[in-house]
């Protein structure tokens, strides 16, 4: 199945599972061509990407290894097109490109591009595809990365797109780094299967929550507990997906109780940039949805605390030095798993896995 064989409106109307085959390559066992949503990654692919990320971080430790990695994609260029604020996602993709020798260009503010003169996003993307071999894009618009993937696949220069966050709906590469962090956290301790993951904060509008909740269904018997004020509780499409996959979950407003049951706690910030009226989130009482030393005292010894960042006050800085506070390592893991994804997207998984370093 190819994106050239289906019209945009027809493609748009498909479910994510139905869309998936259109985004794959023809070769058997290859990784996705476009990375647009979490549903594209099954367990086997996740394990391969984690293994590739581990391999890249190991090879990169020596000067010779680092120089070898830098030669791998020295013939490729990537465009970082971020029309929504970003620190970590932008910088970790940039650093991942640098590790692999990919040269980059960027637009971080549509006001500095021809979009300001009224150019459509479709025309902007076609422009980028004339100069680059991959587009890594973030946008406030839900589904824009999908639309652009369709546009490019139907143009004379099809290049892969990586969705670095689209609207409130998906953030697949964040979910990859969250999974990589969880897999590493439990690797010497029985693995991720059978664990309990607590999500807390703005679960309604947090795209990282939707993508990670889905990827956790790829593991066996991972229970999910959603802790949030009623106004910001997890949306029904997420729980419907869990039901379809027979995943056990709980809806709660009691963070302490949830932390006692948790193997991992995933805190998120209030996403007030999506407020319908200014200050609407500030009127919600979120005081019971912040993690501090009292919660840390209730968390298992082998448990871990994650946050996609940026944080405001959802995690007290007094927790930062605890070995279970994983958010700094999680952030660095983002660079390695994104390097793995970019290398695999360009077809270099095998070469890196089997090289002599």
- Catalytic amino acids? 88-89, 117, 138, 171
Listed in sequence order, the residues at least 6 apart from 182 whose beta carbon sits closer than 8 Å to its beta carbon are 192, 195, 197, 264, 304, 306
Is residue 167 a contact point for ligand NCD (CB under 6 A)? no
| Member of 121, 269, 295, 338 binding ligand NCD (CB under 6 A) | 269
Is residue 229 a contact point for ligand NCD (CB under 6 A)? no
C-alpha span between 66 and 88 (Å, rounded): 22
Least Å distance, CB 86 to ligand NCD, is: 6
Q: Which is nearer to ligand NCD, 174 or 286 (CB)?
A: 174
Is residue 88 a contact point for ligand NCD (CB under 6 A)? yes
C-alpha span between 134 and 78 (Å, rounded): 5
Write phi, then psi, for 79 (nearest 5 degrees).
-105, 125
Q: Which is nearer to ligand NCD, 181 or 208 (CB)?
A: 208
Positive or negative, the CA dihedral 79, 354, 38, 182 is negative
Least Å distance, CB 208 to ligand NCD, is: 5
Residue nearest to ligand NCD (CB): 308
C-alpha span between 298 and 201 (Å, rounded): 18
Instruction: Please tell me the chain's helix, strand, coil percentages from 3-state DSSP, rounded to the nearest 5.
Output: 50, 15, 40
Least Å distance, CB 313 to ligand NCD, is: 13
Touching ligand NCD, residues 299-318 (CB under 6 A)? 308-310
| Member of 55, 76, 171, 184 binding ligand NCD (CB under 6 A) | 171
Is residue 207 a contact point for ligand NCD (CB under 6 A)? yes
DSSP for 68-97, please give it: HHHHHTTT-EEEEEE-S--SHHHHHHHHHH
Q: Which is nearer to ligand NCD, 176 or 319 (CB)?
A: 176
Listed in sequence order, the residues at least 6 apart from 276 whose beta carbon sits closer than 8 Å to its beta carbon are none
Interface residues with ligand NCD (CB under 6 A) are 88-89, 165, 171, 174, 207-208, 269, 308-310
């Amino acid at each position: 199945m190819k994106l050239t064989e289906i019209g945009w409106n027809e493609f748009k109307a498909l479910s994510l599972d139905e869309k998936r085959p259109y985004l794959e390559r023809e070769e058997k066992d290859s990784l996705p061509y476009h990375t647009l949503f979490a549903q594209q990654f099954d367990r086997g692919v996740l394990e391969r990407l984690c293994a590739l990320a581990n391999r890249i971080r190991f090879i990169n430790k020596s000067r010779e290894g680092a120089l070898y990695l830098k030669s791998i994609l020295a013939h490729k260029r990537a465009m970082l097109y971020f029309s929504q604020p970003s620190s970590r996602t932008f910088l970790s993709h940039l650093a991942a490109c640098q590790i692999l020798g990919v040269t980059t260009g960027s637009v971080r503010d549509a006001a500095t591009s021809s979009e300001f003169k009224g150019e459509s996003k479709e025309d902007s993307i076609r422009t980028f595809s004339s100069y680059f071999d991959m587009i890594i894009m973030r946008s406030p618009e839900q589904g824009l990365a999908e639309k652009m993937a369709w546009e490019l696949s139907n143009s004379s220069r099809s290049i892969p797109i990586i969705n670095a966050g689209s609207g409130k709906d998906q953030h697949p590469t964040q979910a990859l780094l969250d999974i990589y962090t969880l897999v590493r956290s439990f690797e010497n301790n029985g693995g991720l299967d059978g664990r309990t993951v607590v999500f807390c904060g703005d679960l309604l509008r947090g795209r990282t929550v939707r993508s990670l909740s889905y990827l956790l269904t790829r593991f066996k018997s991972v229970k999910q507990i959603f802790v949030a004020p009623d106004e910001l509780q997890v949306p029904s499409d997420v729980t419907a997906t869990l039901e379809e996959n027979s995943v056990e979950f709980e809806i709660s407003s009691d963070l302490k109780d949830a932390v006692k049951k948790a193997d991992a706690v995933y805190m998120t910030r209030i996403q007030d940039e999506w407020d319908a009226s200014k200050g609407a989130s500030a009127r919600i009482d979120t005081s019971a949805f912040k993690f501090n030393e009292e919660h840390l005292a209730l968390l298992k010894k082998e448990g871990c605390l994650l946050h996609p960042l940026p944080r405001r006050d959802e995690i007290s800085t007094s927790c930062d030095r605890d070995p279970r506070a994983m958010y700094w390592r999680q952030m660095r893991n983002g660079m390695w798993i994104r390097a793995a994804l970019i290398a695999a997207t360009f077809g270099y998984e095998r070469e890196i896995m089997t090289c002599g370093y």
